[in-house]
Amino acid sequence: IKDCRTRYNGDADHHQRRKKFSFPARLLCGDCYEVRLDKVLADDAPFDICSCQFALHYSWSTEARARRALANVSALLRPGGIFIGTMPDANVIIKKLREAEGLTFGNSVYWIRFDEEYSDKKFKASDPFGIKYTFHLEDAVDCPEWIVPFHVFKSLAEEYDFELVFAKNSHEFVHEYMKRPEYVELMRRLGALGDGNQDQGVSVVRRDTDTCGTLSADEWDAAYMYMSFVLRKRGQPDKNQANGRKDRGLMHITEDDITFVNGNNY
């Protein structure tokens, strides 16, 4: 959260550019898979969109945590609101596990290791929660994570008034959208294509070399571990319904402005 605060506030070199394109923000620190957020954000909701990037699978250690995650998002979105996310692709991970000689697989960028309890490389459909593995990503992550069977995730999300709009593995996602010039240009503006010397269009993503832009083959393989999804909350938005107070955010956030949330204070 402190790193997030620093990135939001920016530094002197980027201060003016940040101010020009910025938006007011609030930072809350808490386990959103344990705490009810509808009370915490009652004055701010409902929201049009919720984003959860590379984090939702940490709720999948238990069914209760997974349900709390979806309940929180659903409670805070208006009807017709959108939930976007990125998480590990369970199908790819299990496929690679079964192709490996042992219980560990990976490359120079990442590795994944399953415990001996999964030595038969089979997983009970009746028990889709708590399937733990250890994930290591070079210079970034080294911690336990959990498999999220996407069909179970989709079914559970439907219980919280969500319908699936979109779900794709990261490779499929990039191959599809990098065929369109407007998305190639967006990637270029985001700095995802390096110094701009790469060729335009589909050649940016090369199937023959299995690389993408500035990513090495090992980095591109690590990206294969992930998928993106879009869920939509059922119902039609009420055009007459105003969202919460619009002055709740700050343009510059100090450490004292960070709100710490737990089950005792909400």
| pLDDT given for residue 214 in this prediction | 72
| Mean pLDDT computed over 222-247 | 83
Q: How confident is the model at residue 203 (pLDDT cuts 50, 70, 90)?
A: very low
C-alpha span between 165 and 69 (Å, rounded)? 19
pLDDT band at 199 (very low <50, low <70, confident <90, very high): very low
Percent of the chain with pLDDT over 90: 65
Ramachandran class of 196: left when φ > 0, alpha when ψ lies in -120 to 50, beta otherwise: left
Residue 20 pLDDT > 80: no
Per-residue confidence (pLDDT) for residue 201, from 0 to 100: 38
Among the ranges given (9-18, 27-36, 116-125, 129-138), the one the predictor scored with the smallest mean pLDDT:
9-18
- List the single range of 28-32, 172-176, 178-182, 214-218 with lowest mean pLDDT: 214-218
Is pLDDT at 22 greater than 80 in this prediction? no
Res 110 pLDDT > 80: yes
Q: Taking the alpha carbons of 112, 116, 119, 125 in that order, is the dihedral positive or negative?
A: negative
Which pLDDT tens digit goes with each residue over 57-92? 999 999 999 999 999 999 999 999 999 999 999 999
Mind listing the domains of the chain with CATH numbers? 2-7+25-236 (3.40.50.150)
Q: Of 100-104, 208-212, 258-262, which has the strongest mean pLDDT?
A: 100-104
Residue 100 has pLDDT above 70, yes or no: yes
Assign 265 a pLDDT band (cuts: 50, 70, 90).
Answer: low
Let me know the angle formed at the C-alpha of 219 by 215 and 224, rounded to the nearest 5 degrees: 110
* 85: Cβ contacts below 8 Å, ≥ 6 apart: 51, 52, 53, 56, 228, 229, 231
- Name the least confident of 5-14, 40-49, 249-258: 5-14
* Cβ atoms of 133 and 145 closer than 8 Å: yes
Average pLDDT across the chain, whole number: 87
